[in-house]
Amino acid sequence: MSSSSYPAPTPKPLISSGKTEKKSRIDPWWGLVAVVVALILILNFSSPDPYNRILVFLQEGIWVTVKITLISFLLVMVLGLFVGLARLSKNTIVRGIATVYVEVIRGIPMMVQIIFWYFASPAIVQQIGTSLNNPALANFRPDGTTMAIFGLTFGYAAYMSEVYRAGIQSISRGQMEAARSLGMTYFQAMRYVILPQAVRVILPPVGNEFITLLKDTALVSAVAVPDMTRRGREFQASTFIIIETWVMVALVYLVMTLLATRLVSWVEKRSKFER
């Protein structure tokens, strides 16, 4: 019998499908999210009074917390980028101002900054308006939520600027030199060559800043902003239900931070460099 009558062996792939399995595998940390959500549901159905009452009372505060977090984070990303670029500027004055801003802001607790923006900054504007005989400035009465967003933005932009600066400096100088040799201006090279690469590098620390900002929104309750923590304090004060109130507040915060963590992890995987 000739060898040609034997069936040809089926070629095996040189590379296993482990990568495909890894990509299709569900993140196991979603299990923790499911456990916490299930715990909230069990508490609500097994003991609707007080847990369901607490959750209903917290609804407005949840939306306020989410709104403050998202708006503040978008502003932090923009302001932090400008400050980070200023820290890398060759202009001594611009670099000096940015450095002083970063060092001063990072040295003041976030709670103090929020209180300053809510109580002290309006008083300063009113005094300026009075001295200039300007009724609009003299009667300046800002919204608490707006001033809380300003406080978080100016505070976290100092930290975010250092994240941007580290990411930009991690890109090889040859990238900038190559872009300039192609006729790009400094700003074009930064926009089209350096920043797209730096953004991928800084995604993990940016995600951490977002999660930290989400938790630090609880500080705005000190200036009468009706966030989730403030609503929890109001419910506790009116009902004297202490343990259950703060258990529910903690669980809701935990769900929000876990979801944010999973979102950040997903973005990191989607934008990861292919090696």
Q: What CATH number does residue 63 fall under?
A: 1.10.3720.10
Domain span holding position 95: 32-269
- Inside any domain, residue 76: yes
Q: Is the pLDDT of residue 2 over 70?
A: no
| Nearest to 272, CA basis, from 23, 16, 26 | 23
What average pLDDT does the chain have? Answer: 87
Q: Is the pLDDT of residue 53 over 90?
A: yes
Q: Return the pLDDT at 270.
A: 78
- Inside any domain, residue 106: yes
Tell me the torsion sign for CA atoms 90, 82, 148, 249. negative
Q: Return the pLDDT at 199.
A: 86
How many domains does the chain divide into?
1
- Inside any domain, residue 3: no
Q: Is the pLDDT of residue 19 over 70?
A: no
- Within 8 A by CB and 6+ apart from 69, the residues are 210, 213, 214, 217
Cβ neighbour number for residue 255 with a 10 Å cutoff:
17
Q: Is the pLDDT of residue 15 over 60?
A: no
Residue 176 pLDDT class (50, 70, 90 cuts): confident
Residue 273 pLDDT class (50, 70, 90 cuts): low
Cα gap 184→177, rounded to integer Å:
10
Q: Is the pLDDT of residue 76 over 90?
A: yes
Indicate the length of the chain as a whole number: 275
Q: Return the pLDDT at 172.
A: 87
- Inside any domain, residue 258: yes
- Inside any domain, residue 9: no
Determine the average pLDDT of the residues in 153-179. 91
pTM: 0.84
Top pLDDT among 138 and 249 is at: 249
* Lowest model confidence (mean pLDDT) among 35-39, 155-159, 260-264: 260-264
- Inside any domain, residue 275: no
Q: Is the pLDDT of residue 160 over 90?
A: yes
- Inside any domain, residue 226: yes
- Within 8 A by CB and 6+ apart from 152, the residues are 68, 72, 76, 110, 114, 213, 216, 217, 220
